[in-house]
Amino acid sequence: MLLNRTRTLGAIAALLGGALLLSGCGQRATDAAPSPDQDSSIQGDGAASEISAAGAAGANGVQPVESSCSASDFAVDLNVQPDRPGVLLMAVTNNSRQSCALDGWVDLVATNMAGEPLTDIPTEKVEMPGAPVEINLDPGEAAFAGVHLELGDKADADTFVATGFTATPPGTAGSTNADIIGIGDGQYTEFPIKSIQIGTLQPAAQGVTF
């Protein structure tokens, strides 16, 4: 495995900054059951458009490129954006010794303090900043996507408190832990999340955040 992430982190250093520092437990914010009429879908806005379950493989209905790499061949960083609560820049770096093709969306799953997946959080894949594009990453290269967390009140039964994330790049098997960047050494971060939007992977970081 190559551990060549210096170039990627340097390219997005200007986008790093403050942290979302909140306290609470790493699970559903309250023990109350969610409302039975809770809408599990999220409406996108601006350039974002909702992708149905049938079309989540790609805007044109074509299945995503099957990568020759596994999830463990990638390093995934979630870069906290300064003064933009809930907005993250995701960088997916090829740490393998071979080229890896990616096309579409990363499957991003929030986890609680125990490392358990918070699968009840409504999650939407949107065409932000545009439709999926096939990207061929050589060793050490990275692709980028925006992530938007709708933040809520921990007293709300529909809010889940996440302390980490796992990621599966498109077309790969398995998952890898995502590193949260920009929170400061030794600081503990929690995200009180009501919903998640994930943008398409792009070859450059400019313009991908929500």
pLDDT of 54 above 70: no
The pLDDT score that the predictor gives to residue 172 is 97
Measuring CA to CA, which residue among 10, 42, 23, 56 is closest to residue 210?
A: 42
Residue range 112-139, pLDDT digits in tens: 999 999 999 999 999 999 999 999 999 9
The pLDDT score that the predictor gives to residue 91 is 98
Measuring CA to CA, which residue among 29, 23, 19 is closest to residue 157?
A: 29
- For the ranges 2-16, 41-55, 162-176, the maximum mean pLDDT occurs at 162-176
What are the extents of the domains in the chain? 6-32+44-198
Contact 43, 207 (CB under 8 A): no
- Which stretches within the chain are classed as H helix? 6-11
Q: C-alpha distances in angstroms, 208 versus 28, 33, 77, 156, 201?
A: 29, 35, 14, 30, 8
* DSSP per-residue codes, 95-127: -SSS-EEE-S--EEEEE-TTS-B-TTS-EEEB-
